[in-house]
Amino acid sequence: MTSCPLLVVFRCHGETRERKGGVCGSLLVVWWWWWWWWGWWWWWWCVRVCGTRFVHKEMHIKLFLRYFSTDSSETHVMSSDQLCLCAPMFFTQWSAQKTCQFHLLCGDCSFLGRITWSTMPAPKQEQRVAIKFMFKEGLSAKQIHDRLLNVHGCDAVSRSTVQRWMIKFANSEAVTDAPRSGHPKHTAATTQAVSDFIQGNKRRTVRQTARHCNISNGLAHKIIRKDLRLQKKTSTWVPHLLNQAQKQKRVDMAMEALDVIEGRHEDLDIDFQHLITEDESWFWVWQPDPKQGNCQWLGRHEERPQVARQERSTKKVMLVVFFDRRGMVHHEWVLDGRGIGSLVYREILDRFRENLRRRRPEAWCSNWGLLHDGAPAHRALPTHRYLEYHAVQVMPHPGYSPDISPPDYWLFACLKKMVRGVRYHNIDALQNTVEAAMKAIPAQDFLEAMERYPDRLRRVIAAEGAYFEN
């Protein structure tokens, strides 16, 4: 492996006579573990003495120190071990006005970095007094800066700083900085004021809190996040804000439905293998995508696309579905756009029972059951009488519970996701698309959706009737 020599060029600036001469030497290539130890020693020395971290890139490195004076091109080289031993002596021999520079160069003289060391930097206030004196004499900014360079060398302030202080001296005589507030501090009273303001309205922003409490935005953010340990979270959409009685009813009916599934119910004898679920939902001819659905992968400098805010169309149609663990049993469309009532629902049940008899003869001859939600058409008295007359067993289902209805938590969500963001010319095109999507759903998906039903009932019980999703 070839070595990569590194040259550290050492330059001195000052008014006193430059020291010439020196010692020469080189550090030969040794085993990598030996140089690793020396590399860490050199890194420590640079951090402690020069205040700059230096890390070599190669294991096998020849390290040279080359220093020269400003009035001579003479070059002197010393090895890294001699540098560590002799550097304190060199520093003590330099005068208080001296400033040294280390230039880090590779073997091909390519520049890597610079380290500046000053044994005793001139205070800024002294230079400001000198700037004020020379400004009163009528010197220009360039002349003042040149004279500061001759005296202070690399420690001299920049020309822009000289110009800035000349403007200040034209209006003021002070050579010191204006008093500063320092690091922002807060007391227990400030924290309590922020807490009371946030508790009054938890939607208030950091800027409003800072303005009300007369503190900075950063301090308000620090108090809210670190001291009060608060986080701003968006609300979760739920179908309904349940009260305690509704939560308890969800728990009771979920436990009753589990008893029916496991065969422990006293009155209902429904075979879960032949449980058929029913529900209905609206489909619009045009329903725009939500903002999250418009996300695209773009480059770092590409602008975000703009999408006009649009409302969904008024043309809509209702889809009624009946399916079990094997697949779709019956579906139909309600085209009047007004939903379904008790009479329409009973007519739909007649057509459903006919399809069930033809498509699921084994379920028709066994203890099949119907699972539907608490829609007004389902709870109507004529509907109850119809179901009792035809000896249809109904699975217990609480109101406001789409999270435990298979059509709601699976089928309708999948179908609407496919048609959302597509503009259809008429209702027929929308119906054809939805029906083609339903036919493409494999039977395994219906089985998995129905198998999740008992588990979701248990999650309702574990959540004490609250909505468990999100």
Predicted local confidence at residue 429, as pLDDT: 93
More confident site: 63 or 101: 101
Domain ranges of the chain: 6-118, 124-171, 188-227, 244-293+310-462
Mean pLDDT value of segment 449-453: 96
Confidence of residue 289 (pLDDT cuts 50, 70, 90): confident
Mean pLDDT value of segment 191-202: 93
Q: Indicate the average pLDDT of the chain.
A: 77
Q: Which fold is adopted by the domain 124-171?
A: Arc Repressor Mutant, subunit A (1.10.10)
Mean pLDDT value of segment 180-189: 76
Predicted local confidence at residue 36, as pLDDT: 62
Mean pLDDT value of segment 368-382: 94
Read off the pLDDT of residues 392-433 as tens digits, 9 standing for 90 and up. 999 999 999 999 999 999 999 999 988 988 889 899 999 999
Looking at domain 244-293+310-462, does it have CATH number 3.30.420.10?
yes
Confidence of residue 232 (pLDDT cuts 50, 70, 90): confident
- Note whether 124-171 and 244-293+310-462 share their fold: no
pTM score over 0.85: no
Predicted local confidence at residue 300, as pLDDT: 76
Indicate if the pLDDT at residue 26 is higher than 90.
no
Read off the pLDDT of residues 89-113 as tens digits, 9 standing for 90 and up. 343 333 333 444 444 444 444 444 4
Provide, rounded to the nearest whole percent, the portion of the chain with pLDDT above 90: 47
For residue 280 the two structure tokens come to 């209905």
Indicate if the pLDDT at residue 148 is higher than 50.
yes
Indicate if the pLDDT at residue 385 is higher than 50.
yes
Confidence of residue 435 (pLDDT cuts 50, 70, 90): very high
Predicted local confidence at residue 46, as pLDDT: 56
Predicted local confidence at residue 37, as pLDDT: 65
Mean pLDDT value of segment 237-257: 93
Provide, rounded to the nearest whole percent, the portion of the chain with pLDDT above 70: 70
Indicate if the pLDDT at residue 24 is higher than 60.
no
Indicate if the pLDDT at residue 118 is higher than 90.
no
More confident site: 187 or 119: 187
3-class secondary structure for the chain?
Answer: CCCCCEEEEEEEECCCCCCCCCCCCCCCCCCHHHHHHHHHHHHHHHHHHHCCCCCCCCCCCCEEEEEECCCCCCCEEEEHHHHHHHHHHHHHHCCCCCEEEEEEEECCCCEEEEEEEECCCCCHHHHHHHHHHHHHCCCCHHHHHHHHHHHHHHHCCCHHHHHHHHHHHHHCCCCCCCCCCCCCCCCHHHHHHHHHHHHHCCCCCHHHHHHHHCCCHHHHHHHHHHHCCCCCCCCCCCCCCCCHHHHHHHHHHHHHHHHHHCCCCCCCCCCHHHEEEEEEEEEECCCCCCHHHHCCCCCCCCCCCCCCCCCCCCCEEEEEEEEECCEEEEEEEECCCCCCCHHHHHHHHHHHHHHHHHHCHHHHCCCCEEECCCCHHHHCHHHHHHHHHCCCEECCCCCCCHHHCHHHHHHHHHHHHHHCCCCCCCHHHHHHHHHHHHHCCCHHHHHHHHHHHHHHHHHHHHCCCCCCCC
Mean pLDDT value of segment 209-224: 92
Predicted local confidence at residue 83, as pLDDT: 41
| 4-8, 231-235, 279-283, 327-331: the lowest-pLDDT one | 4-8
Read off the pLDDT of residues 292-338 as tens digits, 9 standing for 90 and up. 666 777 787 888 777 666 667 778 999 999 999 999 999 999 987 77
Predicted local confidence at residue 282, as pLDDT: 93
Predicted local confidence at residue 106, as pLDDT: 43
Mean pLDDT value of segment 230-252: 90
More confident site: 38 or 325: 325
Predicted local confidence at residue 78, as pLDDT: 41
| 7-11, 105-109, 436-440: the lowest-pLDDT one | 7-11
Confidence of residue 88 (pLDDT cuts 50, 70, 90): very low
